[in-house]
Structure 1
Amino acid sequence: MAHMIVGVDIAKNVMQVHWVDPESGEIVNRSIKRAAFLEYFANRKPCLVGMESCSGSQHWARRLIEMGHRVKLMPAKFVKAFNIRNKNDAADARAIWMATQMDCREVAVKSEAQQAILALHRMRQQLVKFRTMQTNSLRGLISEYGEVMGVGRAALDKAMVGVLERLSGRLPAILIDTLREQWKGLDDVDRQIGQIERRMREWMKGDQAVKAIAAIPGVGLLTATAAVATMGHAKAFKSGREFAAWLGLVPGQTGSGGTIKLQGISKRGDTYLRTLLVHGARSIIYRAKEPGLWVEQMKQRRPLNVVIVAMANKLARIIWAVLAHQQPYRKDYVSTRPA
Structure 2
Amino acid sequence: MYRTKVGVDLAKEVIQVCIYRNKKVQSNIEMTPNEFLCWLVNAKPVTIIFEACGTSNYWKQKAISAGHDARLISAKLVATVRQNQKTDKNDALAIVQAASLPDVTFIGGKTVEQQQLQTIKRLRELAVKHQGAIKKQLVSLLLELNIRISNRKGGIISAIDGVLEDASNGLSVECRIAIDTAKMNLKVSIEAVHRYDDCLENSVIAHADCKKILKLEGVGTMNAINLYLALGCSDIGVFSKGKDASACIGLTPIQHSSGGFVKLGSIGKHCKNSILRSQLICGAMAAVNQAVIREAKTKKDVWIKGLVERRGKKCAAVALANKTVRTAFAMLTQGTEYKAELLAA
Q: Normalised by the size of structure 2, how large is the TM-score?
A: 0.87
Shift of 1:145: 0.9
Distance 1:214 1:154, change over 3 A: farther
- 1:286 equivalent to 2:282? Answer no
Give the alignment partner of residue 273 of structure 1, picking from 270, 273, 276. Answer: 276
* Aligned counterparts of 1:40 and 1:91: Cα–Cα separation in 2: 21
Distance 1:253 1:150, change over 3 A: farther
* Aligned counterparts of 1:168 and 1:83: Cα–Cα separation in 2: 67
Secondary structure at the counterpart of residue 259 of structure 1: coil
Give the alignment partner of residue 247 of structure 1, picking from 217, 237, 249. Answer: 249
* Aligned counterparts of 1:106 and 1:164: Cα–Cα separation in 2: 57
Distance 1:287 1:180, change over 3 A: farther
Check whether the contact 1:18–1:29 (CA below 8 A) recurs between aligned residues: yes
Distance 1:106 1:168, change over 3 A: farther
- 1:7 equivalent to 2:10? Answer no
Give the structure 2 partner of residue 47 of structure 1: 46
Shift of 1:284: 0.9
With 166-175 and 315-324 compared, the bigger mean Cα shift is at 166-175
Distance 1:29 1:313, change over 3 A: same
* Aligned counterparts of 2:255 and 2:26: Cα–Cα separation in 1: 39
Check whether the contact 1:7–1:96 (CA below 8 A) recurs between aligned residues: yes
Equivalent residue runs for 1:128-167 within 5 Å: 128-150=128-150, 156-157=156-157, 159-166=159-166
Distance 1:234 1:18, change over 3 A: closer
* Aligned counterparts of 1:74 and 1:270: Cα–Cα separation in 2: 18
With 10-19 and 252-261 compared, the bigger mean Cα shift is at 252-261
Check whether the contact 1:248–1:265 (CA below 8 A) recurs between aligned residues: yes
Residue type at the aligned position of 1:124: R
Secondary structure at the counterpart of residue 64 of structure 1: helix
* Aligned counterparts of 2:314 and 2:105: Cα–Cα separation in 1: 28
* Aligned counterparts of 1:272 and 1:107: Cα–Cα separation in 2: 20
Alpha-carbon RMSD across the aligned residues, in angstroms, is 2.5
* Aligned counterparts of 2:77 and 2:226: Cα–Cα separation in 1: 24
Secondary structure at the counterpart of residue 260 of structure 1: coil
Give the structure 2 partner of residue 114 of structure 1: 114
Equivalent residue runs for 1:114-263 within 5 Å: 114-150=114-150, 156-157=156-157, 159-166=159-166, 169-233=169-233, 236-263=238-265
Distance 1:26 1:227, change over 3 A: closer
Equivalent residue runs for 1:294-313 within 5 Å: 294-313=303-322
What are the Cα deviations for residues 273-305 of structure 1, in whole angstroms up to 9, with x where unaligned?
A: 322211111111223434722222222333543
Residue type at the aligned position of 1:146: N
Shift of 1:256: 2.2
Taking every aligned residue pair, what percent have the same amino acid on both sides?
27
- How many residues are matched? 333
Shift of 1:26: 4.4
Residue type at the aligned position of 2:80: A
Secondary structure at the counterpart of residue 8 of structure 2: strand
Give the alignment partner of residue 331 of structure 2, picking from 302, 322, 333. Answer: 322
Shift of 1:272: 3.3
Secondary structure at the counterpart of residue 255 of structure 1: coil
Check whether the contact 1:135–1:153 (CA below 8 A) recurs between aligned residues: no
Distance 1:298 1:315, change over 3 A: same
Unaligned runs of at least 5 residues, structure 1: 335-339
Residue type at the aligned position of 2:61: R
Check whether the contact 2:82–2:90 (CA below 8 A) recurs between aligned residues: yes
Residue type at the aligned position of 1:109: G
Check whether the contact 1:168–1:176 (CA below 8 A) recurs between aligned residues: no
Residue type at the aligned position of 1:312: A
Secondary structure at the counterpart of residue 263 of structure 2: strand
Give the structure 1 partner of residue 30 of structure 2: 31
Check whether the contact 1:139–1:149 (CA below 8 A) recurs between aligned residues: yes
* Aligned counterparts of 1:91 and 1:42: Cα–Cα separation in 2: 25
Distance 1:280 1:234, change over 3 A: farther
Check whether the contact 1:109–1:232 (CA below 8 A) recurs between aligned residues: no
Shift of 1:189: 1.7
